[in-house]
Every structure is written in C-alpha cells, then in structure tokens.
Structure 1
Amino acid sequence: MDVATVTLAIATMALIIVLGAAVAFRFPITDNTKQLFMSIIINIAVPAIILNGIFNTEISEQIMHQAVTIFIFSVIFHSGAVFFAFLLGRIFRFSSPWAKKLAILSAFGNTGFIGIPLSFTIFGPTGGLLASVFNAGLDLMIFSLGIFMLQSHGRFDFRQLKALFNAPLMALVAGGLFAFSGLDAPVIFQDLTEMLSSLSAPLSMLYIGFLLPPFFKKGQTFVFPGLWFPLSMRLLVIPVISITIIAFMPMDDFLKQLFIILVPLPTFTLATVLFSRYTEQEDESVMTIIYSTMLCLATIPIIAVYANFLS
C-alpha cells in the first residue's frame, strides 16, 4: 500500500470538504439542496463508477473470484463488527438498547459516499467496481441486521429489504449481466460513465462539507455521553483488529490493499435516516458521522502505515 497516494487522496478530499463548508457558511444550504446532491451521488455518480468499472475491466475468472470473496468478507466483517461492538458496549456498562445503537454506529462504514469514490481514485475502475460489491454486502447487513437491532421490539420485517433495491445495486446487477453477455459497451456509454464517475468523490465531499455549518450553528452541545465509543471503534479498534487478521490470511494482495481503504471508513451517512425513523437519537448519529468523517482524514493514513508494517 502506497501511503503517500492514500494520504494525497485523503488530503484532496479534505480540501473539498473545507470548500463545501465555506460555501455553506456563505450561502444557506437548504434541505432540498442537500437532497439534490444526495440523489445525484446515489442515483447517477455511484452507478456510473460501477458501470465504468465493468466496462473497463476484463471480467475474468480472477475478477469473479475477487468479487465473491469481497462480498462474503463484507457480510462476515459487518455482522462480526456489530456483535463485537455490542458485546464490548455491554462490558463498558452501556444499557442494552444504547449498546445496540452504538454498535450500529461503530460497525457500518460510509462505503457508498467515501469508500467507492476513494477506491476508484486510488485503484481505478476495478477498485471502484469491487468496492461497490463490498458496499452491496454492507447494504444487506444495514437493512436486515441493522434495522433489526434498532427496532425497539426486535421484530424483523422482510419489507425492510425493499431498501436494498437501490440504484447502485441495480447498476451492479445490470452491469454484471451485461458483462456475462460478452458484449462490448458502445464507446459513447464508456465515455459517459467515465465522465460521470468523476463526479462522485467531489460531490460526496461537498455534501459532507454542507453538513458542518448548520450543525455548529445549532448552539447545542457538540458531544454526547459515549461518543468516544463509536469513534474509537469505527476508526481504530475494528480496523486494527480486522487488518491484523487479514494480513495473515491467504488472500490476493490487491484485495488486502482494498480492504485497508474500506475497513476504516467513517460512520455511514444513512445512520441519520435510520436513527430518525427507529430511534430518538438522530442528533447523536449526526454527531458521530461528522466527527468520524473529520477524524478519518487522519486515521486512514495511520491505518495504512500500520498495514504496511504488517506486510
């Protein structure tokens, strides 16, 4: 893993976040504006990264094996991280309902907004494609195990899984079927997806920057009791343990490097939506997302250095 490349990519994204925050301080950013940005990112930019990766990657047996491996790893990693964080939360004497919420904030990372664009920036189209497969496993865990733990009565409803049918997943499925057909995409579609895929990283970072000024203008306390737990778990404890295990596994070196980027990401953005719907701790989720996003700009390079030390 080239730590300098990772650090440069993170530093560039940090500057874009600052620009977004500066714009939000100068001009009021409405909920409609933020919703528009999110819609463009989720429904246009991220699917473009996925399709661009498929159009520009030879879908060989090796790529298929990597895709299956990273999906299985994603499911195991996220489910294991949830239970580990929950058990540790109970050891630290958090109440069971609060420990479940903190476990969700600790275990699920922001693959869609940060992981896929960052993987695309560092590893190219193949990196963006495999990161989207990792994100598919994350989505499965969020809308099944995650919602199950957030609900007060712990009842699972299969209708919750309809949220899995989103634009990135549909792009992954459609692109996979196209790849199996053996056809070559028309040049205009290749150029279109390549152009649109470049929107994802800057728009995602601008969106995060938009969240900062309104949050600090509320005049409320900037922390909540227990904030240290999801921040330390999401950014340091879980990544260090996971990467230590991965380093000694018989796995493709490219996948190991990809995991180094995908494992220590900040808390997933959808936490605000889920917490507002199933709990009364929406502000806590917003705080965790903002602080973990700002801190990850420093912790991801640190995790990359640690991974290099193990290799």
Structure 2
Amino acid sequence: MEHTLVFQSIMSIFIMILIGAILSRTFPFNEDTRRVFISLIVNVAMPCIILSSIFNVKMEENTFGIITAVFWISIFINLIGIFIGWLLAHNYYKGGNKTKEIALLSGIGNTGFIGIPLCAILLGPEGALFAAIFDAGVDFTIWTAGVLLLQQKKQFTYHSLKSMINVPTLSIIIGLVFAYFHVTPPIIIINLTNQLAALAAPVAMFYIGVLLMTLPSAKVQKLGSQALLPIGVKLIILPVVTVLAMHYVPLEIEVKQTIIIQSMMPTLTLASILFAKYAADEDFGAVTTILSTLIALFSIPIMIYLINIFYAI
C-alpha cells in the first residue's frame, strides 16, 4: 500500500511539472510572470497550507503537548540536515558558491505534498495530524533559519529580523495561538484555507516546469551532478540520524514513526521559489527537486523497509 502511494504521489508531481513545461509555450516567462508565481505561492498558498493543517487538528487533553514536541523536534531535525549539508558542502566544494543552497536542500523536505498523505495511509488520522505539525515545523525553519541563511549579509540585523517576519511565519504563529486557546474559526475560513492550500503544490510544480524549459541541457547536467550531495544527505543520512535519535526521545511509537517517515521525504518542492525570492540559484533548486523526487520513488520504500528493524511500520 505504501509503495503504491509513494509512486502515485511522485508521479503526480512529475505530471504537474510536465504541465508547467507545456504551459511555458503559451506565455512569455519574464521577471513579471516570475514574480506572480512567487507572490502567489509565498503570500497565499503557503500560509493557507499552514493554517489549514492547524485548523483541522482536533485537540484532546494532551494533544497540544505532543504537538509542541513534534513541532520543536521537526525544527531540530531540519537544522541538523542543514548543518550536515553545509559542513559537507563547505569541505567538498571548497570555494564553491552553492554552500547555502546545498545546506537548505539537505535539510528541508517535501513533508506536505508527499509526507502528510503517506503518513495518513500508513498511520491513520493520528499520523496525518502529527505529519501536519511536523510540516509546520519545516515551514517555520524555512521562513526563519532558511531566510537568514540566504541573506547576502550574514549579520543578524533589524533587516534580517524583518525578513523573517513574513506571511508564512505569521501564519504559523496565528495558527498555534488558535490551537492553544481551542479557538475554531468560522467554517467559511476553514473551507477557504483548505481550497487555497491546494494551490501550493500545483503552482510550484508548474513554476518548476516552466523554469526548466528555459535552462540549457548542459546546465541541467552540471547542476544535476552538484545535486547529488544534498540528495544523499536528505534521503539517506538524515533519516538514519533521525532513526537513531528517536531511540532517546520519550514519545509514543506512532509519533516516532511519523517523525521518521517525514525525515526521509525528498527535497522541498518550493526550493526554487525560495531561492528566487532571496536571489539564490533557483535553477539549482529546481533541478535538485526533480532529481530528489525521482530518487525518492526508490529510496522511501527501501528506507521504510530498513527502519522496520527498529520500529514496526
């Protein structure tokens, strides 16, 4: 069952990328169209994904405590992946100019579009709940540590803090406040966030498809070879580290299983959007996303099989 779901989710991604590639023939891809894509995803779709995940959480007596733990563990795992990627890139590509991109691609995964439905199938509604919270931790890492890392000036200044106060970050804060005080928004707001959240994956994949059609094949091959480092960290090293770390965390087995599964997701689909917004190499992000997702078609089932040694899934 899990193998079928992984295959279907990843094939959906590639079909949407193909649609984007076809759409690229119907309009000029310039700075204006690029800004429309980025603004729509960052300021509308991403915040709605965050709010939709939190609004659909059913709170019980000890649920918020577990949610808080999963949220912080998610951030910690993401930061470990980023650090491992940065360390390897700094040593392997000495003098290279992609260290920050490799670091982020090594630690941030596609925990929303692939991870949440996979956990729902394998672990049921409880798995989907904690997978959504893990995804919120990923979002928080992206729009705080990720933004800080991508800044041209590395000093923590007022401008750096202002960059981290963005729409997705504010959405996380608002959503968690609602959850903590058990506030349920009107049904029209819940439905609206659910509908707008569905925009994120398709529009991001369309953007990647359009972007790839503008890249020379020689550049794709060059970037593909450089992408092997972050892909190796994200799909192999980070899941192994997570499995070992979960032995020392006092959580229920279902929560541990969710965290482990989420740690093995392929590279973030929004990588090229994030890089474009902060003047990094968006082409590298797009190529890495596609290769990582393709390899994940084989790596996720293998990793799930191997971690049965430690945890029954």
**Shift in Å, 1:188:** 1.6
**Paired AA for residue 144 in structure 2:** L
| Distance in 2 between residues matched to 1:158 and 1:136, nearest whole Å | 19
1:289 aligns with 2:274: no
State the match for 1:236 in structure 2. 235
| Distance in 2 between residues matched to 1:225 and 1:134, nearest whole Å | 24
**Paired AA for residue 94 in structure 2:** S
Matched ranges for 1:229-268 at <5 A: 229-246=228-245, 248-250=247-249, 251-252=251-252, 253-266=254-267, 268=271
1:202 aligns with 2:199: no
Secondary structure of 1:57's match? coil
**Shift in Å, 1:21:** 1.0
Do the aligned partners of 2:42 and 2:167 also contact (CA within 8 Å) in 1?
Answer: yes
The structure-2 alpha-carbon separation of the partners of 1:221 and 1:184, relative to structure 1 and needing over 3 Å to count, comes to closer
**Paired AA for residue 295 in structure 1:** L
Secondary structure of 2:266's match? coil
Do the aligned partners of 1:234 and 1:266 also contact (CA within 8 Å) in 2?
Answer: no
1:134 aligns with 2:142: no
RMSD: 3.2
1:7 aligns with 2:7: yes
TM-score by length of 2: 0.78
1:51 aligns with 2:51: yes
Secondary structure of 1:223's match? helix
The structure-2 alpha-carbon separation of the partners of 1:286 and 1:138, relative to structure 1 and needing over 3 Å to count, comes to closer
CA displacement, residues 152-200 of structure 1 (integer Å, 9 cap, x when unaligned): xx54435312222122221221122223333332222222222222222
| Distance in 1 between residues matched to 2:85 and 2:111, nearest whole Å | 21
**Shift in Å, 1:224:** 5.4
Do the aligned partners of 1:11 and 1:297 also contact (CA within 8 Å) in 2?
Answer: no
- Which stretch shifts more, 287-296 or 116-125? 116-125
**Shift in Å, 1:214:** 1.0
TM-score by length of 1: 0.78
Give aligned pairs, total: 294
State the match for 1:73 in structure 2. 73
Do the aligned partners of 2:212 and 2:286 also contact (CA within 8 Å) in 1?
Answer: yes
Do the aligned partners of 2:106 and 2:230 also contact (CA within 8 Å) in 1?
Answer: no
**Shift in Å, 1:19:** 0.8
Unaligned runs of 5+ in 2: 309-313
Matched ranges for 1:215-234 at <5 A: 215-216=215-216, 222-223=221-222, 227-234=226-233
State the match for 2:311 in structure 1. none
Do the aligned partners of 1:117 and 1:128 also contact (CA within 8 Å) in 2?
Answer: no
Aligned residues: percent identity? 19
1:30 aligns with 2:30: yes
| Distance in 1 between residues matched to 2:98 and 2:191, nearest whole Å | 47
- The structure 1 segments of at least 4 consecutive aligned residues displaced by more than 6 Å after TM superposition are none
State the match for 1:308 in structure 2. 305
Do the aligned partners of 1:78 and 1:108 also contact (CA within 8 Å) in 2?
Answer: yes
Unaligned runs of 5+ in 1: 277-281
